[in-house]
């Protein structure tokens, strides 16, 4: 039986002839079939993935040219990342979310007319894209309970949520349905589901990875992120997908180092942490206890680890929800039923009524809540009270974080204040759901890279993680320290 442990080992197995790409894809197709009830995949590209695997096997036999960095690596994509000629819907009815038809195939959804830059780069590196993955509608949510396709189940405890919004991407790696997956992280949507599922999740610096072909939620926060089982795999993926892109002017021209080749670094580092986070009334006591203990252990291992005063936790979630909903209300105005996607079947409506009917039926409850909230905070009477004020919080927070990075290499936080909760538990209390993001939104407000490392197990049986943040474009040192921490 095929067992995946890392890309490097898989490539060695391929070279030795112990496995073929076709066998690897067959293995995943079978696993996906056996775990269908988890609802991680929206669509599986079975025939196409097998054909691609066959081509790669043949190419390898010929020996020339040398295999790509992701040769035969089986990858899943969140349903917000465009793949030319493949349906995409952001798990929303407004993009004609597609459902199985009577013949067992998926109904037609909106089809991408081009591929995201990240997809082009995966394909150029010879990856095999096996399917696309369920998520919260338009990446809005923390539990994957806001999807037109229904909930995703956490494979470790099916009564619990996998986190969100990239819940399908997290479960696909957690349950061994692909080797690695891509999600998007606007306020924690890679790190928090990684935490809930016990895997690694990386959000790169804003501007490290192109957003071209990523369906927008909040454009000044959105970033493509990576789910994996080990740091070298994540490093390899990052070096493939990151770097300048003529289609996204917000991507930095900075050098994109070969992360996977430079992962060893034994020097002691300087870590900051916030007592205000660990003593926060909302954080699970066991999570706080284990992270404090871990901090003490880091000191014993020779690192400098110090508390820094940080009284921002009451402001960051509100600032995040004001700014992201404002951006979302603008970004989502394009879904009006005129050019593409769902349109109301009601006949003879005048234009405004047509929009109303289309958008009322096409968007789900949480998306509508956010469009209304975003429209409200941008409205002329309230603009200064909410939007401008939240922008000020963002600016001041960035300055505060820059001061911290003058003296420290990393900031340590929990990823989530609690472990994966039960399905339905927070569904009817949006504020409680939003507070799940208290430790993750900071990295998006400031634009810094952050990673969630599954180092702990709670007495309730669920995993939980340490979150490490670094300064802008310091992914290399972030991956270096992460590689050490997960191996200790
Ligand atoms: N949970 C956050 C939200 O609902 C994060 C979403 C995200 O990162 N896409 O907005």
How do residues 386-399 score in pLDDT, each as one tens digit? 999 999 999 999 99
In the predicted structure, residue 104 carries a pLDDT above the cut 60:
no
Residues ≥6 apart with Cβ < 8 Å to 395: none
Q: Domain 7-320+386-487, what fold? A: Amidase signature (AS) enzymes (3.90.1300)
Residue 321 Cβ inside 6 Å of ligand 1? The answer reads no
Residue 185 Cβ inside 6 Å of ligand 1? The answer reads yes
Pocket residue to mutate for ligand 1, from 166, 216, 324, most atoms within 8 A of Cβ: 324
* Mean pLDDT computed over 453-478: 98
Q: Given the CA of residue 185, which atom of ligand 1 is nearest to it? A: 8
Residues ≥6 apart with Cβ < 8 Å to 249: none
User: Measured between alpha carbons, how far is 39 from 151 in angstroms, rounded to an integer?
Assistant: 7
Residue 186 Cβ inside 6 Å of ligand 1? The answer reads yes
* Mean pLDDT computed over 66-84: 96
Q: What per-residue confidence (pLDDT) applies to 437?
A: 94
Strand partners of residue 160 = 422
In the predicted structure, residue 107 carries a pLDDT above the cut 80:
no
Q: How high does pLDDT run on average in the chain?
A: 95
Q: Strand, helix or coil at 313?
A: helix
Q: Which of 17-21, 322-326, 341-345 has the lowest mean pLDDT?
A: 341-345
Q: Which of 44-58, 86-100, 290-304 has the lowest mean pLDDT?
A: 86-100
Q: What per-residue confidence (pLDDT) applies to 342?
A: 87
Q: What is the DSSP string of 317-368?
A: HHHHHHHHHHHHHHHGGG-SSSSSS-----SS--HHHHHHHHHHHHS-HHHH
Residue 437 Cβ inside 6 Å of ligand 1? The answer reads yes
Report residue 257's pLDDT band, with 50, 70 and 90 as the boundaries. very high
Residue nearest ligand 1's atom 4 by CA: 141
Q: What per-residue confidence (pLDDT) applies to 262?
A: 95
Q: Given the CA of residue 217, which atom of ligand 1 is nearest to it? A: 9
* Predicted model pTM: 0.97
Report residue 217's pLDDT band, with 50, 70 and 90 as the boundaries. very high
In the predicted structure, residue 66 carries a pLDDT above the cut 90:
no
Give the Å distance between the CA of 185 and the centre of ligand 1.
7
Q: What per-residue confidence (pLDDT) applies to 100?
A: 59
In the predicted structure, residue 384 carries a pLDDT above the cut 80:
yes
| Ranges of H-type helices in 75-166 | 117-124
Max mean pLDDT among 93-102, 426-435, 453-462 falls in 453-462
* Mean pLDDT computed over 449-472: 98
* Mean pLDDT computed over 359-385: 96
* Mean pLDDT computed over 304-319: 96
Q: What per-residue confidence (pLDDT) applies to 341?
A: 87
Q: pLDDT for 239-255, tens place per residue? A: 999 999 999 999 999 98
Which tops the pLDDT comparison, 444 or 63? 444
Q: What per-residue confidence (pLDDT) applies to 106?
A: 58
Q: What per-residue confidence (pLDDT) applies to 151?
A: 97
* Mean pLDDT computed over 70-77: 98
In the predicted structure, residue 408 carries a pLDDT above the cut 80:
yes
In the predicted structure, residue 105 carries a pLDDT above the cut 60:
no
Q: Where are the domains of the chain?
A: 7-320+386-487
Report residue 177's pLDDT band, with 50, 70 and 90 as the boundaries. very high
Give the Å distance between the CA of 411 and the centre of ligand 1.
21
In the predicted structure, residue 230 carries a pLDDT above the cut 80:
yes
Q: What is the DSSP letter of 38?
A: G
In the predicted structure, residue 468 carries a pLDDT above the cut 70:
yes
Q: pLDDT for 427-456, tens place per residue? A: 999 888 988 999 999 999 999 999 999 999
Q: What per-residue confidence (pLDDT) applies to 102?
A: 61
- Sheet of 270-273, strands arranged across: 41-44, 128-133, 74-78, 180-184, 224-228, 200-203, 450-457, 463-470, 410-414, 270-273, 304-307
Please give the helix or strand (H or E) that residue 399 lies within, else none: helix 389-407
* Mean pLDDT computed over 53-63: 94
Q: pLDDT for 272-296, tens place per residue? A: 999 999 999 999 999 999 999 999 9
Q: What per-residue confidence (pLDDT) applies to 96?
A: 81
User: Measured between alpha carbons, how far is 24 from 118 in angstroms, rounded to an integer?
Assistant: 23
Report residue 326's pLDDT band, with 50, 70 and 90 as the boundaries. very high
Q: Is 78 an active-site residue?
A: yes
Q: pLDDT for 108-153, tens place per residue? A: 678 999 999 999 999 999 999 999 999 999 999 999 999 999 999 9
Give the Å distance between the CA of 187 and the centre of ligand 1.
5
Given the residues 189, 210, 260, 329, the one annotated as active site: 189
- Give the up-direction half-sphere exposure of residue 40: CA atoms within 13 A in the CB hemisphere: 36
């Amino acid at each position: 039986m095929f067992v995946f442990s890392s890309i490097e080992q898989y490539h060695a197995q391929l070279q030795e002839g112990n496995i073929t790409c076709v066998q690897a894809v067959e293995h995943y197709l079978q696993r996906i079939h056996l775990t269908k009830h988890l609802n991680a995949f929206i669509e599986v590209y079975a025939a196409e993935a097998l054909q691609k695997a066959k081509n790669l096997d043949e190419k390898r036999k010929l020996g020339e040219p040398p295999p790509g960095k992701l040769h035969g690596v089986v990858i899943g994509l969140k349903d917000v990342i465009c793949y030319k000629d493949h349906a995409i819907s952001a798990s929303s009815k407004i993009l004609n979310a597609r459902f199985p038809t009577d013949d067992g195939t998926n109904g037609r959804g909106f089809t991408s007319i081009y591929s995201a830059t990240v997809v082009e780069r995966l394909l150029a590196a010879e990856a095999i894209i096996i399917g696309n993955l369920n998520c919260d509608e338009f990446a809005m949510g923390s539990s994957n309970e806001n999807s037109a396709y229904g909930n995703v189940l956490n494979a470790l405890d099916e009564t619990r949520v996998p986190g969100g919004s990239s819940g399908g991407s997290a479960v696909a790696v957690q349950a061994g349905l692909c080797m690695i997956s891509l999600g998007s992280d606007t306020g924690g949507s890679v790190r928090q589901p990684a935490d809930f599922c016990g895997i690694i999740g990386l959000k790169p610096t804003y501007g490290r990875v192109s957003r071209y072909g990523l369906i927008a939620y909040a454009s000044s926060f959105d970033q493509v992120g990576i789910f994996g089982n080990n740091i070298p795999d994540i490093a390899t993926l990052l070096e493939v997908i990151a770097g300048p892109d003529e289609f996204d002017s917000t991507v930095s021209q900075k050098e994109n180092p070969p992360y996977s080749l430079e992962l060893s670094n034994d020097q002691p580092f300087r870590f900051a942490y916030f007592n205000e986070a660990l003593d926060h009334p909302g954080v699970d006591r066991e999570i706080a206890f284990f992270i404090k203990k871990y901090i003490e252990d880091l000191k014993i291992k020779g690192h400098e680890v110090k508390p820094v005063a940080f009284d921002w936790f009451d402001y960051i979630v509100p600032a995040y929800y004001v700014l992201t909903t404002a951006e979302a209300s603008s970004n989502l105005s394009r879904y009006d039923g005129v050019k593409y996607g769902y349109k109301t079947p009601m006949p003879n409506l005048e234009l405004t009524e047509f929009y109303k009917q289309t958008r009322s039926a096409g968007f789900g409850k949480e998306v509508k809540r956010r469009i209304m909230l975003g429209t409200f905070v941008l409205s002329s009477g309230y603009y200064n009270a909410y939007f401008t004020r939240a922008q000020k919080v963002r600016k001041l927070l960035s300055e505060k974080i820059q001061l911290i990075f003058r003296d420290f290499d990393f900031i340590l936080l929990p990823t989530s204040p609690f472990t994966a909760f039960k399905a339905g538990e927070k569904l009817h209390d949006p504020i409680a759901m939003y507070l799940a993001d208290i430790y993750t939104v900071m990295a998006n407000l400031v634009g810094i890279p952050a990673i969630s490392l599954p180092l702990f197990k709670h007495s309730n049986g669920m995993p939980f993680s340490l979150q490490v943040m670094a300064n802008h474009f310091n992914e290399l040192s972030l991956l270096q320290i992460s590689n050490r921490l997960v191996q200790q």
